[in-house]
Amino acid sequence: MVDHINKYYSRDCSQKILHLGPKNSESRRLLGKNYRFSTEADDVEKIAELLTTLFNMWKENPAQLNLGRTDLEIYFSPEALRKQIKKLLKSRTT
């Protein structure tokens, strides 16, 4: 189970993400103000444009989809999650 979780997190956090949501969200904050693949969820034209761009990048060279953000890989790692859970549990007992 842990191996599956580790593979899931490391694979998904290393790929470009299509962020559909408000500019003032935690996801957008983590991706950065100037993140290219982000738009409001109701902007149909922009969503189509971004999906086309991502698809073309994938067709041309899938390696282009690497996000290159080891900080996010660490932030979303199982180890970081365990640390947060332990911290929460400890704060409940004190």
Q: 31-63: per-residue pLDDT in tens? A: 998 999 999 999 999 999 999 999 999 999 999
pLDDT bucket at 15, cuts 50 / 70 / 90: confident
pTM of the full structure: 0.69
Return the CA Rg of the chain.
Answer: 16
H or E element that contains 38: strand 38-39
Q: What letter would DSSP give residue 15? A: B
Domain layout of the chain by residue ranges: 1-15+68-94, 17-65
pLDDT bucket at 9, cuts 50 / 70 / 90: very low
Alpha helices for the chain (secondary structure H): 2-12, 26-31, 44-60, 70-75, 78-93
What is the predicted pLDDT for the residue at 10?
A: 44
The contacts of residue 12 (CB under 8 Å, 6+ apart) are: 76
30-35: Cβ within 8 A, 24+ apart? 30/72, 30/75
